[in-house]
Structure 1
Amino acid sequence: MCNLCERAKDIPEYLELLSKMQEEDAMRLATSKELAEEIPIVGRSIYTSVNWPVKLYHPMFDARVAYSVPSNYFQPLYLNGEKQGVMFAHGAMRSIFFAGERLMVFSKCLNHYREGEFFTSFLFLHFEPSEYKYNIAEDGTLSISANLEKPMKNLITGKIEEKKVMFTFTHKPVVGRIVTRERVLSSAQFRTIYAKYGGAQLRSASIDMEGYAITVPHFAPHPYMLQLHEKFGYKSNREFQEHVIDYFKQHLKF
C-alpha cells in the first residue's frame, strides 16, 4: 500500500467526510429513482460495475481541465458515446484512484429537484489492469485511458447492462503552471481566457477553493483531501497538488 493510502485510511476526519458524502448520495439516488418514474431519461446514466454501496477510504483525485471554470471543470468521460456532464457543482466529482491493481473511476453529476438533488450521471466503475492503459510522455505528462464495453448494474432498474465507457484522463506537470489568485484576478490575459466560458468576470472555481488556478489539465486531490492537507503530510494545498504525481508513480510503478 502506498504512503498516501496508508494515511487516508487512518484519518478519522477524512473517513467521516466520505461517510457523510455516501449518506448524501443515498438520498440523491432515492430521489433519482423517484424522478425516473416520471422522466425515464434520468436512469440512463446511473451505473456501477461493483457491488454498491462500498466503503470508501481511498485517496481520490479529480480529473480537471486547465483553468477549471465552473461551466467546464472536469475532463471528458463518455458512456455509450454520450458525454457526461463537466460542470462544477457541490457534490459533483470525476475522481480516479486505485484499489489494489484496479483503477477506479467515480463520477457524479447533479441537479436540483424540489427540495433535494438527483443524479444526472453516476458512474462507479472498476478497471482491471488489462482494461485500461497509461502512458508517460517525454515531458512527464501522464495519460490514463480506457475504451471498452463493460457489464454494469443500472442502479435505477437493478438490471445488468452492457455499456461502452471511454475516457482519456491527462495530468501534465504542474510545477510552474500554478497561478496565484492575485495574478489571475489582475491579469488581462487570464480574463480573456475565462471570457471564453461565460464572461471575463467568471472566475475559476478552483481559485475560490484552493487559492490558485492551474493552466494545464491535471489530477487534483479531492476537496476533502485538500481540507485536510496537513494530515496527509503537506504544508499547503499547493504542495499537495505539486506531489500528486507521486501517488500515480507508486501505483503504476513508473
Structure 2
Amino acid sequence: MCELCDKAKSIPEYQALLEKMVKEDKQRMEFSKEAAKELRPVSESCFSSVKWPVNLIYPMFEARAAYAVPNNYFQQLRVGGRRMGNAFAHGAMRSVFFVRDQLFLFSKGVNFKKGKEFFTSFVLLNLKKGEYQAGEKGTKIVIRANAEKPVKNLITGKVEKKKIAFAFQHHNVEGRIVSKERVADSARFREVYDKYKGGARMKSASMDLEGYAVTVHHLSPHPYLLQLCSKFGYEDNKDFQLHVKDYLLEHIK
C-alpha cells in the first residue's frame, strides 16, 4: 500500500469526515427515494456495484475540468449512455481512488427539494484490472473505462446492467496553478468565465475552495484531504496538488 493510503487510515480526523459524509449521504438517499416518485430521472441515476453504505477510508481525487467553473466543474462521465451532470454543488463529487489493483469511481450530484438535499445522481463503482486502463500519455496521465457492470439501483433495489464510460485526464500542473487574483485579471479568465451566467466576477468565487485555479484538466485532492493537508505531510493545498501525480504513478505502474 502506498504511503498516502497508509496515512489516510491513520488520521482520525479524516476518518471522521468520511463517516460524516456517509451519514449525510444516507439521509440524502432516503429523501431521493421520495423525490424519485415525482422526478423519474432520479430513479435512473443512483447505482452501486458494491454494498452500500460503506466506509471507504482512502485518499480520493476529484476529476475536475480546466478552471473548474461551477457549471462545468467536473470532467465528463456517462452511465447507461446518459451524461451525468458536471455542475458544482454542496455534497457533489466525482472522485477516483485505488484499492489495491482495483479502481473505484465515486460520483454524486446533489440538488434541493422542499428544503432537503437529494441525489440527482449517485455512482459508486469498483473496476477490476482489465475493466479500466490507466497510464501516462505524453505529459498527462489518463484513467479511462468503457465497461458494462451489474449494479444495484439504490432507489428501486433492483440489479441492472449499466455501461460506464469516462476518460479522466491529469495534465502536468507545473506552471498551471495560478492565484485567483492573477486569474481574475487575465484576459483568458474573462474569456472562459464570461461564457457562464454571472460572468467573471461571480464565477471567480469558485476558486475560494483552494485559493487558486488550475488551468488544465486535472485530478484534485478531495476537499477533505485539503482540510488536513498538513497532517498528510504537505505545506499547503498547492503543494498537495503538485504531488497528485506521485499518488497516481504509485498505483498505475
TM-score, with length taken from structure 2? 0.97
Provide the residue aligned with 1:143 in structure 2. Answer: 142
Relative to structure 1, the CA distance from residue 183 to residue 230 in structure 2 (aligned partners, 3 Å threshold; closer, same or farther) is same
2:201 aligned counterpart, secondary structure: coil
Contact map agreement 2:111 2:117 (CA 8 A) in 1: yes
Instruction: Give 2:249's aligned amino acid.
Output: K
Q: 1:201: Cα distance to partner?
A: 2.1
Provide the residue aligned with 1:16 in structure 2. Answer: 16
Distance between the aligned counterparts of 2:3 and 2:232, measured in 1? Answer: 9
Instruction: Give 2:119's aligned amino acid.
Output: F
1:25 has 2:25 as partner:
yes
Greater Cα offset, 186-195 or 223-232: 186-195
Provide the residue aligned with 2:116 in structure 1. Answer: 116
2:97 aligned counterpart, secondary structure: strand
Instruction: Give 1:252's aligned amino acid.
Output: I
Q: 1:55: Cα distance to partner?
A: 1.3
Provide the residue aligned with 1:34 in structure 2. Answer: 34
Ranges in structure 1 where 5+ consecutive residues have no aligned partner: none
Q: 1:161: Cα distance to partner?
A: 0.3
- The correspondence of residues 61-140 of structure 1 with structure 2, limited to 5 A, is 61-139=61-139
Contact map agreement 2:184 2:200 (CA 8 A) in 1: no
Aligned-pair Cα RMSD in Å? 1.1
Provide the residue aligned with 1:158 in structure 2. Answer: 157
Distance between the aligned counterparts of 1:69 and 1:25, measured in 2? Answer: 24
1:241 has 2:252 as partner:
no
Greater Cα offset, 186-195 or 143-152: 186-195
Distance between the aligned counterparts of 2:53 and 2:84, measured in 1? Answer: 21
Provide the residue aligned with 1:227 in structure 2. Answer: 227
1:131 aligned counterpart, secondary structure: coil
Q: 1:34: Cα distance to partner?
A: 1.3
TM-score, with length taken from structure 1? 0.96
Work out the number of aligned pairs and report it: 252
For residues 177-207 of structure 1, the C-alpha deviation after alignment (integer angstroms, 9 at most, x for no partner) is 0011220122233122211222232334552
Q: 1:159: Cα distance to partner?
A: 0.6
Provide the residue aligned with 1:185 in structure 2. Answer: 184
Relative to structure 1, the CA distance from residue 240 to residue 5 in structure 2 (aligned partners, 3 Å threshold; closer, same or farther) is same
1:219 aligned counterpart, secondary structure: strand
Provide the residue aligned with 1:168 in structure 2. Answer: 167
Relative to structure 1, the CA distance from residue 179 to residue 247 in structure 2 (aligned partners, 3 Å threshold; closer, same or farther) is same
Distance between the aligned counterparts of 1:221 and 1:206, measured in 2? Answer: 16
1:43 has 2:54 as partner:
no
2:10 aligned counterpart, secondary structure: coil
1:152 aligned counterpart, secondary structure: strand
Instruction: Give 1:113's aligned amino acid.
Output: K
